[in-house]
Structure 1
Amino acid sequence: MDRSSRDPFKIDHFPGNLACVDLSRRVMTDLATLADFLVTHPAVADKAAIHLSYGHALGVSGNIRLGDDCAAIENPSGSGHLLFAAEGMRESFVESDPWFAGYSAIVVNLADIAAMGGRPVAITDILWSPSDEISSKIWQGMQEAALAYGVPIVGGDTTRSRSGSATLGAAVIGHAGDRLITSFDAKPGDSLVLVIDMHGGFLGGDSFWNSSTITPPERLRAQLEMLPALVEKGLCRAGKDVSSGGIIGTLMMLCHCSEVGAVVNLEDVPCPMDVEIERWLTAFPTYGYLLAISPEDVKNTMSHFTATRITCREIGRFKADPGIVITADGEAVELRFPEEEPLHETLTSPGLSRRAG
């Protein structure tokens, strides 16, 4: 089963470098309502507290900072860094769409390497499956992704289990130079820049924005080169791969690691014309990154993506005090997560019953 025949979307479903659309057509009733939606969204809430999940590893991580998209290890035999990451697929995802789960296991690992400004070398997999039929579908997906991106699967652990659900994970090794994109180096005053491939569509009612299976292999490989090249130009020092929890959930993690806050200007967020802003802010794109860029480097960063179909847009800024603020139509609301009452704090008085636009 090949990528093109399987995917329901057409290439160029949405135009590249899409201009921001009229926000009044796509924001929930008001900013306060949108804030409530964002802080109670399960994927966003998970990301807000994700640092609690890896607390057990703090005592055994050596000198590696936890919270990046990859472990960045100084190359023991030379200059630069070795990059190592791993991803597991949800059992429900593997069960409902084993082909795409296999495909995604490869793609998300490659995105983690790119997020650090690195280049992938090889993938290994871990697959336990109760049937050859399911295992074959998963492997077809992994093979298609590996061939499309030009990264080999060099081994792993594939086991035929006697019962239970299929379990899938994958790991990747990559390399980078002395300069990295990290989750720890966003500074107050940096511009918040979104880099994203808007050509594609959602998979049914899911939050996953698929632009990969409809993109030619040569373009996929070129996309993987964009962030390493950006680092080598000295234009970026901090950022993160947009994953589950979308722009807001990912920004929460980036701000937590860098000990900063951020302001997101919703009018500046590029969004497909027929997608609601609340869905877009929590979408998991195949290719999407949040970057911290010095204001004087924003123009050159945007120029870096000009010849591609990747959208690059400044959508806000980082600030010294913690917390994420969303703004629209001259009003602002700070997001407050469930462990902090209230869920959000209104920063501008009355008027929030109006639609933003």
Structure 2
Amino acid sequence: MTDLASLAEYLSGHPAVAEKANIQQAFGHALEVSGKIRLGDDCAAIANPSGTGHLLFAAEGMLGSFVEDDPWFAGYSAVMVNLSDVAAMGGRPVAVTDILWTPTEQISAEIWQGMQAAALAYSVPIVGGHTTRTVSGKAMLGAAVLGHAGDRLITSFDAKPGDLLVIAIDMHGGYRGDKPFWNASTITSPERLRADLELLPSLAEKGLCRAGKDISNGGIIGTLAMLCQCSAVGAVLDLENLPCPMDVEIEKWLVSFPSFGFLLAIAPEDLENTMSDFTATKITCREIGHFRETPGITITADGESAELVFRKPGVHAAGDVFDSGEAMV
């Protein structure tokens, strides 16, 4: 797919992207009971009631089809994606809890083996949760994480017009089966996994990054849509500068969920220092666009541009209804 207008139409109508572009519908019911905590971030950032800094709290649910098709990796991912949420806020994880419903001991064991592998690799304990054995039905899996951060956070609300759009992503690895998940985690040493996650709180503590998100379901485009929505800004994404693995089509890459990937809003004067933090690592860090005052997302390439027009979730570009219940992670 090389035509920019066709690419924009494809991305605008992709179900996972549509869900992320309309993410406020998912948390809207909690607005009245969220207290003073802003909703839409990767973690709830709670002022530490007993000291300085912030407590971070988040949870992730795994897709039912994912748990059924690949229980070991679903367990691994339940831990991994929660740790990514904490890092995206400029924080460090403390512990994980799980919620697991399984009909058989075999499935339960596979899921637990995956969770254990991730907990050991990232050196974060699983300290409890809730496990239920069901007599029928399919396995269901969720997990929650507690983390901590200092006074400086990376939030979803503080991208400003004129900030540069920067991506930090692990390009090693490959797709796991036919899912749009780029796995660089299970092939990476535990030492590097932990060091890579430490890059984000380091940026926050140095005051180099005030806004960003981890790239999740919906990929680069879906995540950028959420970041723009929370910060009330628009963005221009330069596809010519976007790093993309060889032999991977751009339309697939733009909606892929990487095991390590973050979109950051960096002030122009902080770009050089931000980039230097990644020079001695295996993480690719590159400027791929900028934020603007005008709402919406524009993609550019070869001197041309196209606007993304997001549709409501549950409707294809042709108007066909589909089940969007599993488009959320």
The alignment partner of 1:79 has SS state of coil
Tell me the residue number matched to 2:138: 165
Q: What is the rounded CA distance, in whole Å, between the counterparts of 2:254 and 2:57 in structure 1?
A: 28
The residue matched to 2:124 in structure 1 has which SS?
Answer: coil
Aligned residue identity for 1:294: A
TM-aligned CA deviation for residue 78 of structure 1: 0.1
Q: Which residue of 2 aligns with 1:3?
A: none
- 1:138 aligned residue: 111
Deviation at 1:245, TM superposition (A): 0.4
* Aligned match for 2:256, one of 279, 283, 286: 283
CA offsets 1:235-292 (integer angstroms, 9 cap, x no match): 0000001000000000000000000000000000001111111111111000000000
Deviation at residue 338 of structure 1 after TM alignment:
2.3
What TM-score, normalized by structure 2, do the two folds share? 0.94
Are residues 1:333 and 2:306 paired? yes
Alignment of structure 1 residues 1-357 onto 2, 5 Å? 28-338=1-311
Which whole-Å deviations, capped at 9, do the CAs of 1:175-232 have from their partners, x for residues lacking one? 0000000000000000000000000101122100000000000000101100001111
Cα gap change, 1:155 to 1:316, in 2 (>3 Å)? same
Q: TM-score, normalised by structure 1?
A: 0.87
* Runs of 5+ consecutive residues of structure 2 not aligned to the other structure: 318-329
What letter matches 1:73 in structure 2?
I
CA distance in 1: counterparts of 2:109 and 2:312, whole angstroms:
44
Q: Distance in 1 between matches of 2:37 and 2:163?
A: 25
Instruction: Show structure 1 runs of 4+ deviating over 2 A.
Output: none
Report SS of the residue matched to 1:53: helix
Q: Which residue of structure 1 aligns with residue 320 of structure 2? A: none
2:325 alignment partner in structure 1: none
3-state SS of paired residue (2:30): helix
SS at match of 1:162: coil
In structure 2, distance between residues paired with 1:128 and 1:241: 27
Greater Rg, structure 1 or structure 2? Answer: 1
CA distance in 1, matches of 2:262, 2:164: 13
Would the aligned equivalents of 2:22 and 2:312 in 1 still touch at CA under 8 Å? Answer: no
Instruction: After TM superposition, give the deviation of residue 339 of structure 1 in Å.
Output: 5.0
Q: Deviations over 1:275-333 (max 9, x none)?
A: 11111111100000000000011111110000000000000000001000000011111
C-alpha distance in 1 between matches for 2:251 and 2:65: 24
Quick one: distance in 1 between partners of 2:128 and 2:84? 20
